Amino acid sequence: MQPLKVVVILLGVLILIGFGAMIGVIAERLVAGERIAKANPVLALAALALPKGARVVETVAAGDRLILRVAREGAADELIIYDLALGRALGTIALTEAP
């Protein structure tokens, strides 16, 4: 009877340790989810003014950057690099033909 009591107590302790670990993992994931949500804010509304007569030909998302390829009438295409986290254009790159 004595060995049976030891086994029951040992299994009870193991169940408590496992339950505590499960609660700890759930709490950690909840906190980590909040950190990710704060680090990557959702862009609510933004406007990007294109030059007159320009149209967006292609878009590429790279991390927190959005790259727009813009075609203009009578001018070379250009790339506009837009930062989604800041909500503003970082700069433009003019695409010209090589000589």
User: Which residue, chain included where needed, has tokens 């040992």?
Assistant: 10
Strand partners, 93: 79
Task: Report how many domains make up the chain.
Answer: 2
H and E: helices and strands count for the chain: 1, 4
Domain co-membership, 35 together with 60: no
Q: Give domain status of residue 47, yes or no.
A: no
Domain co-membership, 59 together with 28: no
Domain co-membership, 60 together with 90: yes
**Residue 25 belongs to what domain range?**
1-39
Burial class from Cβ neighbours inside 10 Å (0-12, 13-18, 19+) for residue 29 reads exposed
pTM score, two decimals?
Answer: 0.51
Provide the residue-wise pLDDT of the chain in tens; the chain has 99 residues.
Answer: 898 999 999 999 999 999 999 999 998 888 776 666 565 555 555 677 787 888 999 999 888 888 999 998 888 889 989 888 777 888 888 888 777
